[in-house]
Chains A and B, each alone.
Chain A
């Protein structure tokens, strides 16, 4: 399964503030966004992330997969992650 490379200089705060030191850009992540980003930093792959979230949240797998794919695309769009 796909894992993600998160640049080591990126950190996300408890309330979801994300700062990119190289460009000066800043972002806000919502709660689920923070959880996913942190799991990615730990090296979790797509399947592990989906499984962990299904365990924790009241949501069906199809919706979660769609939303996850959309979220990953946005992170890639902003050059915040790369797929390994």
Chain B
């Protein structure tokens, strides 16, 4: 006699008064492949946990976003935000698509140069640019976005010694009606600091003012804030034009567009509350047309969004280590990918799908990572089908920040694989091993021997 298909015995208590009309149905649909390549095959070949990036999705996201802006405004240029994900393979895809590089440290600047990006296609942002880094950037003709007066005076000093004219823009912060106000970067608009910095640059013959930059926040849930920001940038640009007859090459609106990840504490699913990329594009471009230049002189609109272009192109494959019950009877599942490699789980409720078909019964569980640390919680509450030891799961929308903001802690950082457009897989960053970690350490001679 053929045996019946097994499903773990389960009991579910009924609760009244807890219905949530906005809630999404539990995820039982398996995510068994990434662009046609089996999740289990990837984990078998490259180990678990393993990050997977989709080349196709990155290119699609980029082209869709660029088209959305280009159909609304004549001159649009993207600069890839290195800090979001600066793996060479990732940056190269964006550069192949025509993106410049947007860097925020000398380390990132050097990465871009090493990848072959000419200085004039590098935007150098951030509050910490050493004299050495500034000299490099001036020499290479990079676009330096000044963050504070101390930096501006340093550049003026350097510009009097160098042959090349530094190519400058300033970063402007402003009130766009959102909280928190990002006023720690750049010069403030409302108190007149921004205009004062611009005046100082225009008056200095050894400097060249080429643009204006702002970046109003991250994971922005309001398109209206961008409209206000663009309007204030245009006010500055018009004032520069009327007072000093200075025209800008570009206005850089930064990034901050959200991805489809739901924030912790957010009641509704991300897809239901976030503005679309079209909303952001409408808000920004409609204001830019108010600039008082003649048609062909319109400044280029530069964009630096990172998260929204790559988050959904990244997946983390993880394996179930164990299931257990907590003291209150709640189910807990331990898997081999933890917060050390999934930094974004501190603020996102990441979607998690089984990688293989499961039974129909589901249960609310807490998902823990493998670290012997109380903070290693990937999801406090998620309704999942029953998963056995050794089953694989896919954590969605992890392409932004995790592969740069991760930390080597307790365990080693895993392989990163890219599924190429032709359906092949490539290892784009090798997992760390003990040798690699220990090679940076020096053991003082007197500590090298001990007897237990």
Contacts and interface: CB of A to CB of B under 8 A. Distances in A.
A30 B386 CA distance: 12
B10 A57 contact: no
Bin the interface of chain B by size. 10 to 19
Nearest to A66: B323
A73 B5 CA distance: 23
B12 interface: yes
Given A56-B4, A58-B3, A77-B329, A71 B14 contact: no
A19 B5 CA distance: 27
Contacts of A77: 325, 329
B4 A57 contact: yes
Residues of A contacting B: mostly: helix
Given A73-B325, A78-B13, A30 B361 contact: yes
Nearest to B14: A26
A67 B14 contact: no
A52 interface: no
Contacts of B452: none
Nearest to B329: A77
B11 A63 contact: no
B388 interface: yes
Nearest to B360: A30
B8 interface: yes
B11 A75 contact: yes
Contacts of B14: 25-28
A5 interface: no
Contact of A31 (B3, B7, B329): B7
Interface of A: 18, 25-33, 35-36, 56-59, 63-64, 66-68, 70-71, 73-75, 77-78, 80
Interface of B: 3-14, 323, 325, 329, 359-361, 388
